[in-house]
Amino acid sequence: MNGRAADRAQWGVWLPAAGLAVRLAATAFFMFVAFTFVTTRESDALAGWKRVAVLTALALAVIGWSVSHLLLIRWGRDTRALHRTIERSALPASPTLMQAARPLGLLDRVVEIDDQRTTAFTYGAGRPRIAISRPLIEELSPDQLGAVLRHEEAHLRRLDPLRRSLLAVAAATFWYVPLIRHWQSVQVMRQELQADRHALDACGCRAVAGALLAVSREAGPDPVTAAMANPGLLGARIAHLEGQTVPSPPLTWSLLLRSGLGMAAVALVAISAIYVLGCP
């Protein structure tokens, strides 16, 4: 990866910093308004209830924002570290990789890396790239290498690394609504199955199955990447290759109940905000 390409890919690193600044400003404003409201003397019977409501809403908001702040900081740190690692370990593209990437128009989006693991993954927010290790290139047949590139191409075209990071931030921010984390797991499964289908349509079942077995021993450096290797979904993806219908993760009554309570907490936040801002 040359310096210019790395600079283009690095723009996504600034996204966590921008999100952090916005959330800190919003949290500071909310805390200021809530503090002003709570410390205001009132004589009506609702004064005590309104204070409890505001403090509850404030606690939920602060916890949610704090977790999302930490996740954004981690995402930015991991993204910078990953870019530096790939830049240091980048190798000249081998003829085998160039031959496989050229028909897909991916010559400028694929990086061959010096890594002892058999791994391939898509990384970067604004302009994703595909990293693939030399041992994996040497192990795979041409058809299997094409299947890996097709799978990662699907992640690249859909900006899946960015989408996964945003889903993780949403799940962390609204931790009190576990249905969002369930939706996150459903979306990750759909992304993997769609990428597998993209490779399956182009390369056939035998090539995709061989590639999946080769990379299943290693996973990409989550949560800032999208990788063909995803051990947690291996069973579902094998069933998908066999033509079976893969059901989504089930919804349970416990999940719905906890999410309902969480949504009630969100409603409490909204009601408290209306009282805080003095809206009728």
What separation, in Å, do the N-terminal and C-terminal C-alpha atoms of the chain show?
A: 58
d(CA 249, CA 226): 20
Report field, pTM of the whole predicted structure over 0.75: no
Helix 178-203 vs helix 253-276: crossing angle, to nearest 10 = 120
Q: Which of 47-51, 167-171, 253-257 has the lowest mean pLDDT?
A: 47-51
The percent of residues in the chain predicted with pLDDT above 90, rounded, is: 18
Residue 136 has φ and ψ, to the nearest 5°, of: -70, -40
Residues 6+ apart with CB under 8 A from 55: 34, 38
- Ranked by mean pLDDT, the top range of 77-86, 163-172, 198-207, 266-275 is 198-207
Q: At residue 39, does pLDDT exceed 70? A: no
- Ranked by mean pLDDT, the top range of 62-66, 204-208, 224-228, 270-274 is 204-208
Q: From 126, 132, 136, select the one nearest 156 (Cα to Cα).
A: 126
The radius of gyration of the chain from alpha carbons, rounded to an integer in Å, stands at: 23
Check residue 216 and report its DSSP letter.
T
Task: Write out the two tokens for 81.
Answer: 């570290």
pLDDT at 97: 92
pLDDT at 43: 43
d(CA 19, CA 69): 8
Between 22 and 201, name the one with better pLDDT.
201
Q: At residue 19, does pLDDT exceed 60? A: no
